[in-house]
A and B are shown apart, each in its own frame.
Chain A
Amino acid sequence: MKDVAVIGAGMTVFRRRMLETGKELSFLATKMAMEEAGIEKKDIDMVVMGSAPDAFDGIHMKGENLSDGAAGTGKPYVRVFNGGGTGVFAPIAGWWHVASGAADIALVVCEEKMGSCYPHPQTAFRHIWDPILDRPLNPNLVWLFAMEMNRYMSVYNIKKEDIARVAVKNKRNAVGHPCAQIPDEKITIEDVLNSEVMAWPVQRLDISPPSDGASALIFCSADKVRQFTDDPVFVSGVGWNIDSTMWTNRDLYFPQYVANAAKMAYKMAHINNPRKEIDFAEPYDPFDYKELHHMEGLLLCKKGEAPILTREGVTERDGDMPMCPSGGLMGVGNPIAATMGQKVCELYWQLAGKAGKRQIPGDPRIGVGQAWGDIMQMGTVIVMRRG
C-alpha cells in the first residue's frame, strides 16, 4: 500500500437554502481545493463523490447529477455514501484510490443540499426506518436520538448542563470559521437549557441546523507529494464499521461500532494509546451529546468520562485534548456529507498550520476525525498526521 498525503482542501459557506445548485456548490469547493494544491482538472486521476440520501437534494442518482461540478466528467468517478458516515467515508474511499496505486491524485468532493427538501428535510428522514416495524408508528428521528441521549445520561448520571457545554463550546469555536452558519460568541449554557424542548432531553439548541454546502479534498501518493509541499500531512489510518440495523436490540449508551472503526484505524496508524498519542479530534457532533458519546467511542477517554473532561476545559481549543476546534456541526452547520469540511479538511488545516483563527496552540501532530450515520449504526474514522 502506498502512503497517501493531502495537498489541498476546500469548503463553501454553509447556509440554509442557498441559491446555488448542488453542482455549483461542488464546483466552488473543488476549485478552492484545486487552487490550494496548485493543480488543474487534467492532473486529477480519479474522483470520489460523497453525498447522503438522494431524498435531500430531491434528485435520484444525484451522484451522477453532481459529477460535472465535481470535475468528474471524463474521469473514473464513483459516489459512495453511508448516511451521516459519508463525510468521513468519502475521504476513506479517496484514500484507497491512491493507497491501492490506482490513482496518483484523487479528488474527493462532498455535497448536500438539504434545503431543497421542503418544508423540512425531516420529511426525508421519515423514510429511513424499517418499513414494517418502525414506520407504521410514524417516528421522528429526534425521538430516537432523545432515547439514546436519555440512556447515555441515565447510565452515567450526566447532568443536562454538562451536555449543553458542548453546544456552547462548539458554537463559540465556530466564530473563527469563515464558512460557519450559526457561530455564537455570546451563547451560554442557560440559553441551551432554556431552548424549546423537541423530545426530552433534546432541546432546540442541542441540535445542529440543516444546511446546504460542499467540501473538497485532494489526495496525492507519497512518492509524488514533494512536488506540492515540503511539509505534507498524511492519512495514517482509516476504519469503518456497522452495527445491527435492529437498533431496538442494542444498548445505546456506548457506540461500539465507532470503537470498532477507531480500533481499525488506530491499528493501521500504529497508535497504541489514543488518549496520549492523539493531539486533537473532530468527533461527529450533529447533537451536542454525540460529541461526548463519540469521544468515548473513539477511546479518547474512559466510558462516561467525556462530560467530566468537558467540564474541566480539557476539550477547549486551548485544552489538553481539543474537540471540534472547527466549531463542528453544532457551530459550522450540518450539510450531512459536506461535513467532511469540519471532520477531515479541518484535520488537514490544523496539521498544516492553516487553520487561521481556529489554529490549535502548540504543535498538533496527530488528529482523528469521525462521522456517524444510518440508524445509529455506522462509524467512520480517519487519522491524519503531519510529516
Chain B
Amino acid sequence: MTFLEKQTDPTSPMHWRGDMQADYLYPNGWAGDRFFKNLRDKGTFLATRCPKCSKVLFPARLYCEDCFVEIPENNWIEVPTSGIVRLYTFAKLDAHWEPLEKPRCMALIDIEGTDGSILGVLDVEETDEDLTGLPVEALLRPVKEREGTMKDIVCFKPSV
C-alpha cells in the first residue's frame, strides 16, 4: 500500500505543477471609504455611534451588528488616534514562517473614546514587562505618502 511508504521527496510521485493564480481589488466598503479617505486626507480616526445601544463602533461601520440597525449620518464622530494596549505578543516568525530580523510586537489597541479596537504594530523593544494597559499613539505616514489603507498607520508608539 503506497500510503504506508514514507515519502520524503514531495516531487517523487509523478505530478503536474500548477498554481492558483487570482488577483484582487478589495474596495474599502461604504463606511470604509469615508474612514480611509479621512485618514488619508485629515490624519484622524472616524467612528460611528449606534443609535440604539450607543456603542461607538471603531473603525466606523455602516451598521451595528448587535442591534442590526443602520448608522444615521449625524452619528459619525471623530475620535483620538490614541488608545490602550489590550492584548499583545512578540512575533519571531513572519507570515511565511521565516524568522523576523528582530521580534515584532503585534497588539490590539482599544481606541480611546470608542468600544472598538484595531490590530497594529507596537513600536517597542522585546521586554518581560507587562505592556497591558500601556497608553499608545498612532504614528501615521507623512501626508504625501498616504494611500487610504491600513498601511497609512505605520505603528503605535507609547505615549510620552
Residues of A within 8 A of B (CB): 17-21, 23-24, 27, 30-31, 34, 40-41, 55, 58, 68-69, 71, 73-74, 115-119, 123-124, 126-127, 131-132, 135-136
Report the bound CA distance from A81 to B18 in whole Å.
Answer: 25
A119 and B27 in contact, given A24-B62, A69-B63, A132-B16 (Cβ under 8 angstroms): no
A71 — nearest CB in chain B belongs to which residue?
A: B68
The yes or no answer to B30 lying at the interface (CB within 8 A) is yes
Residue tally, chain B, CB below 8 Å to A: 23
Q: B1-39 interface mask toward A, CB cutoff 8 Å, 1 = contact, 0 = none? A: 000000000000000101011111111111111000000
A-B contact number at CB 8 A: 75
Residues of B within 8 A of A (CB): 16, 18, 20-33, 62-63, 65-68, 70
Indicate if the CB atoms of B25 and A123 lie closer than 8 Å. Answer: no
Report the bound CA distance from A31 to B29 in whole Å.
Answer: 17
Report the bound CA distance from A34 to B69 in whole Å.
Answer: 11
Chain A hits for B32, CB < 8 A: 21
Chain B hits for A24, CB < 8 A: 29-31, 62-63
Indicate if the CB atoms of B68 and A41 lie closer than 8 Å. Answer: yes
A19 and B65 in contact, given A124-B22, A132-B16 (Cβ under 8 angstroms): no
A131 and B67 in contact, given A17-B27, A116-B27 (Cβ under 8 angstroms): no
Report the bound CA distance from A315 to B126 in whole Å.
Answer: 71
Indicate if the CB atoms of A58 and B63 lie closer than 8 Å. Answer: no
Chain A hits for B33, CB < 8 A: 19
Indicate if the CB atoms of B26 and A116 lie closer than 8 Å. Answer: yes
A69 and B65 in contact, given A19-B33, A131-B16, A135-B18 (Cβ under 8 angstroms): yes
A73 and B65 in contact, given A19-B27, A21-B32, A116-B26 (Cβ under 8 angstroms): yes
Report the bound CA distance from A119 to B25 in whole Å.
Answer: 8
Report the bound CA distance from A132 to B62 in whole Å.
Answer: 45
Report the bound CA distance from A30 to B70 in whole Å.
Answer: 11
Chain B hits for A115, CB < 8 A: 25, 27
A17-B27, A73-B66 given; name 20 further pairs at CB < 8 Å.
Answer: A19-B27, A19-B33, A20-B27, A21-B28, A21-B32, A23-B29, A24-B29, A27-B68, A30-B68, A31-B70, A55-B20, A58-B24, A68-B65, A115-B27, A116-B27, A118-B24, A118-B25, A123-B21, A135-B18, A136-B18
Chain A hits for B21, CB < 8 A: 123, 126
| Contact residue among A19, A58, A68 (Cβ-Cβ distance under 8 Å from B22) | A58
B29 — nearest CB in chain A belongs to which residue?
A: A21
